[in-house]
Structure formats: structure tokens, C-alpha cells
Amino acid sequence: MDQICIVLPTYNERENIMKLVPQIEEVCQKNNLSNFLIIVDDNSPDGTGLLADQLAEQYGNIKVLHRPRKSGIGSAYKEGFRIAIDELAASVIFEMDADLSHNPEYIPGFVRKLAEGFDAVVGSRYIPGGGIEGWSVYRRLVSGGANLLARLLVGIKIHDVTSGYRAFKADLLRSINYQSVKSEGYAFQIEMIYLCQKAGYRVGEEPIIFIDRKIGRSKLSRKELIRFAGVTLRLFLIRLRDLFF
């Protein structure tokens, strides 16, 4: 049986992981999935790290990485990937938000999609069966515009490049040198898909309903948008170079 590993970056997510972790465990047990969780906590002031340690003791299949300061979701995923591959010998590695916006019930669907021959699977809000609950018109416009920009300029083929709900085969992560990705936030997500696509891997999409967080603050900011636009432009220029030189 494949060992799946779910990487959960956290910062002030105490109330959310209190609900999320039992849900993940229940779904995996119900579907006979051998699973491990890696919680990467950036010294959350609300005690998320302490609760994560308690959950690790309770369940026995959770590893908690305590980082000294808030260092970004991209670096959190990279550290989680490294542990999943090098220390836990996972064959499938998930990215997942800890804010309850990603329903664990979709996990078996991702695994089935990988078994069909895809090398990575992205949870998509923008394909039939997918959707969003709780977003304002502004958030929808920003997200839709970012995805359109990525598809037009960078040539990304999937419909939801900014989604943070993903699953990768470990062999893919080993081969694309994910540690070289320096981007953070949504920019990290587009760069990872770009590397997968450039290397010729098959990236599939699984429809998900995204539910906006009820507790805590959204990660979207002006700085985040500027960073995403900058990385999109950089990848566009690389694409032009590869096409014409």
C-alpha cells in the first residue's frame, strides 16, 4: 500500500487543526489509506505548535516541525516534502491548507487520480464539479484573473494554478529539484506547476469545493498579488527564451 504524507503548514491555526486532524485521520482510516501528517508550525503565538505536539502523541502518525519564526508557506512545504521523502519514505505527498478550506473527503479522489497515471493532481475550483463558497466578488475576480494570466503568459494547462490542495508522486518531486523554488505563497504554487509541466509530467485536476476560512485571517494581501505577478512575468520570460533561443 502506498504511504501518503500530508504536509500542513500552520501559523495561528490552533482551532482549525483541532478539527482538521481528526477529519483527516477518519477519512484515511475509512478508505484504508496509510497516512502520515507533517505539521510545520512557524512559532504560532496562539499555541498551534503545542496542540500539534499533543495530537502527535495522541495519534502516533504525526510529525511536528517547529520553526523559530514565520518563514513562508513555500519554505514550509519544501521542508515538509524533504521529511516526507527522505525520512518517511512516502510515495505520495499532499499539500493542504490547515484552515478548513480543503475538505479531507477529497483525499481518496486525488489518490485514485494518481493511480490512473497522473504524476500530480491539483484540487480545482474551476472545472465541472468544483466551486467556491464564501468569497466576495473581489476575491473571485482576483483569483480568476491570476489563473487566466498564468495560463496565457506561462502556458499553464490546468485551470486552477493557485490552488494549494495538491498531491505529488514522490518520484516527481525528486526529479524537479523543488528545493530550487524560492517563491512563496501563490507564486510558489505557479512555479511548482510550471516545473512539473516543463519536465513533461502529467498534471491532472480533481474538482473540489473550496470553503473560505471561518476562523483566522485570509493570506491574500497586496504584497502577495505583487509577488505572484512578478513570478508570472519571470516565468513568461523564461518561456519566451525557451521558445525562441
Are the CB atoms for 38 and 84 separated by under 8 Å?
A: yes
Residue 101 burial (CB < 10 Å; 0-12/13-18/19+)? buried
Domains of the chain (ranges, CATH numbers): 3-244 (3.90.550.10)
How does pLDDT run across 80-116, given as a tens digit for each residue?
A: 999 999 999 999 999 999 999 999 999 999 999 999 9
Assessment of whether the complete model's pTM goes beyond 0.85: yes
Query: Mind giving me the DSSP string for 117-131?
Result: T-SEEEEESSSTT-E
Give the confidence band of 242 by pLDDT, cuts at 50, 70, 90: confident
For residues 191-208, average pLDDT:
95
For residues 124-137, average pLDDT:
94
How does pLDDT run across 151-167, given as a tens digit for each residue?
A: 999 999 999 999 999 99
Give the confidence band of 219 by pLDDT, cuts at 50, 70, 90: low
